[in-house]
Amino acid sequence: MAVKPVILTVDDDAEVLGAIERDLREHYRQDFRIIKAGSPEEALEAARTLKQRGVPIALFLVDQRMPGMTGVEFLRRAKDLYPHTVRMVLSGYTELQSIIDAVNEGAIYKFLTKPWDDERLRAHVSEAFQQKGMADENRRLSGQVESANADLAALNARLEHLLEQQRQHAELLQTQASQSRDLIDELPAAVLGVDPDGLVAMANRRAEALWSEAGGLLGRQAGELVPGWSPDDVEAGVTVSGSLGGDAGASLVTISGRGYRMVARPMSGSAGARGSLLLFWPADDRKDGHA
């Protein structure tokens, strides 16, 4: 069963307390529990006890002139316990400046004078509860927005971390690719990387020197540079001119009037796309004579 919120009334006049209780109980007993306190100290003790038990207080309705502590002073202290509770002062005295100060500080919601009109008192209380309901809903929605913003900030942080990891991985791959290219450039053989369509996608420095008259190798058909060769030959394991002695799988090709040994090997990328790697180095004098 849900705990009913409390209306806490405070007045040092027992008759006034009884009259307020009867008036409020008649209209709010279904939704609220009404508690009376004959002094500010008693009311603060009751508020502390209710706070410890987790019981909400919906309204403080207090007299202004009480022994030991004014109603405004009590509400200032009660605000620390229940910051979002409606706070109203009921008094037969008009201490304008203290009331103005209390309203400006947010210590009280409304100041009512004695003797009060029952109908107007109930109207003010109902109005206060409506405004409190809207304020509570705004706080709830604000809490949801703050929670969503916190989740979004955490997600952004995770994404930034993943992007940083990807950036570092890309830099590593770029470094590895650069180092691999440097190694290929230093090989004592000409090297061509050919895509599945037979187009040259990579050439090292010796290959550029070997075909220096071609005016750039990238994007050229490898079959134009190596007459008689086709990407299908790699898949089928076919050499251009047959194997050369001890160089199993090597072909003898003629480039710019000079004989070269050529080895073609299939290669595949991470996406499964295949291509070919062609290596060329000069044939010896005996084999050059058969070119």
Model confidence pLDDT, tens digit, residues 223-249: 889 988 888 776 555 555 444 444 456
Identify the residue whose tokens are 């008036």: 23
Last residue of a domain, one of 85, 118, 144: 144
pLDDT greater than 50 at residue 285: no
pLDDT greater than 60 at residue 290: no
Last residue of a domain, one of 114, 144, 174: 144
pLDDT at 244: 40
Q: Is residue 170 part of a domain?
A: no
Does pTM surpass 0.75?
no
Same domain for 110 and 197, yes or no, is: no
Residue pLDDT, tens place only, 46-78: 999 999 999 999 999 999 888 889 888 899 899
CATH of residue 136? 3.40.50.2300
Mean pLDDT of 194-218: 90
Mean pLDDT of 16-29: 86
Q: Is residue 227 part of a domain?
A: yes
CATH of residue 268? 3.30.450.20
Q: Is residue 160 part of a domain?
A: no
Same domain for 109 and 223, yes or no, is: no
Residue pLDDT, tens place only, 126-171: 888 787 778 778 878 888 888 889 888 988 999 998 888 888 888 8
Q: Is residue 154 part of a domain?
A: no
Q: Is residue 37 part of a domain?
A: yes
Mean pLDDT of 256-273: 78
Domain count, the chain: 2
Same domain for 46 and 137, yes or no, is: yes
Last residue of a domain, one of 144, 175, 200: 144
pLDDT at 101: 67
Same domain for 25 and 129, yes or no, is: yes
pLDDT greater than 90 at residue 192: yes
pLDDT greater than 70 at residue 95: no
The mean predicted confidence, pLDDT, of the chain is: 82
pLDDT at 24: 86
Mean pLDDT of 13-39: 88
pLDDT at 102: 65
Q: Is residue 150 part of a domain?
A: no
pLDDT at 11: 93
Q: Structural domain of residue 210, as residue ranges?
A: 187-288
pLDDT at 96: 67
Same domain for 133 and 257, yes or no, is: no
Q: Is residue 273 part of a domain?
A: yes
Q: Is residue 173 part of a domain?
A: no
Same domain for 137 and 28, yes or no, is: yes
pLDDT at 186: 87
